[in-house]
Amino acid sequence: MRVVIQIPCYNEEANLPVTVQDLPKNLPGVDEVQWLLVDDGSADRTVEVARRLGIHYIVQHSRNMGLAKAFLTGLEASLKAGADIIVNTDADNQYRGEDIGRLIQPILAGKADIVVGDRGVGTVEHFSPLKRLLQRMGSRVVSLASGSAVPDATSGFRALSREAALRTIVYSEYSYTLETLIQAGSRRMTVAYVLIHTNPQMRRSRLMRNMPEYLVNSTATIVRAYTMYRPLRVFLGIGGVMVLAGLALGARFLFFYLSGQGSGHVQSLILTAILTIVGFQVCLIGLMADLVGFNRKILEETLYRVRQLELVDKWRKVPSSDQPGDGSESAG
């Protein structure tokens, strides 16, 4: 059983030593623990510091591509490194290494595919009252979108089984946290949560530079992901509301028409026609989107099988003495 702890990084030369020092070298029920750093185009000495700290794998982006891409690159590199469980943590030492053992336990016990560290967002001291409120509200929205209870939707401290990592695809360019939970819910994966502790904040969040930007990006991510995985529900809901509104206006016009006052309410009849026609068109768009969704599922299943075959082929070709574990690798 091999656990790979991946650390997405961007200009973290100052914080990385503290983060790595806190990571476990051994875990109960695990044969081997390795560390992997994803350098997302850092302009400082992050890579040099990582090599000095003895990190087993270093994967580099030639330019800054964002947290979501760095997370996905880390998953792919960890799978190639033979990971049975992948743990994602932040380079700013927000999460404690001592919690990793508890984080992976549900996966080791076969009770979960993905485990997320629950920070207790309503009580985190270094969060402002507004941020705590927004975190709770966001978690409730993601709970509805994913169809499962989500106490901490934005926590990046999470563990994935090999199977879950193979099936994970991130389309968002902003963050992976929200989309992957909605994706897991649509695929009937088991997501568990364990309470964790957090360290004092070492720097300001780069993902949430200001509240309006965070709200816009998070809302767009949730809406896009939910529409992608539940298109029929979304478009039928919108179209249904429009059709019902049209029928209500039609009933209103009919009432006045039968009362001999129809000539003064022709606008209602026009709106009835517009809303009903557009509503039916939106419902048809939903049916088409659902069919496209089936094609996407087929493509995702194909990608999953290709990933499996690539990994099997890699480990067949690489002699045991040359299997990765002692060096570093780069990805542009």
Burial 162-174 (b: 16+ CB within 10 A, else e): bebbbbbbbebeb
Classify residue 65 as left (phi > 0), alpha (psi -120 to 50) or beta.
alpha
Q: Identify the three-state secondary structure at position 192.
A: strand
What is the number of other CB atoms lying within 10 angstroms of the CB of residue 156?
Answer: 18
CA end-to-end span of the chain, whole Å?
Answer: 29
Angle at which helix 231-258 crosses helix 211-229, to 10 degrees, equals 90
H-only helix segments in the chain: 16-21, 46-52, 67-80, 100-108, 129-146, 162-167, 177-186, 211-229, 231-258, 266-317
Q: Which range among 26-40, 132-146, 239-253, 266-280 shows the weakest confidence by mean pLDDT?
A: 132-146
Read off the tokens for 108.
């080791």
pLDDT of residue 130: 65
d(CA 181, CA 163): 15
| More confident position, 138 or 315 | 138
CB 62 within 8 A of CB 30: no
259-290 pLDDT, tens digit each: 877 666 778 888 999 999 999 999 999 999 98
Read off the tokens for 126.
């270094």
> Which residues are within 8 A (CB) of 137 and not within 5 positions of it... i.e. 6 or more apart?
none
Q: Partners of 39 in the beta sheet? A: 9, 60
pTM of the model: 0.79
Supply the mean pLDDT for the chain. 84
d(CA 286, CA 236): 6
The residue-averaged pLDDT of 277-305 equals 89
Classify residue 83 as left (phi > 0), alpha (psi -120 to 50) or beta.
beta
The residue-averaged pLDDT of 118-127 equals 68
| pLDDT-above-70 percentage for the chain | 85
Q: Is the pLDDT of residue 126 over 60?
A: no
| More confident position, 314 or 100 | 100
Nearest to 138 by CA among 185, 178, 88, 193: 178
What is the number of other CB atoms lying within 10 angstroms of the CB of residue 248?
Answer: 14
Nearest to 90 by CA among 166, 7, 178: 7
18-77 pLDDT, tens digit each: 999 999 999 999 999 999 999 999 999 999 999 999 999 999 999 999 888 999 999 999
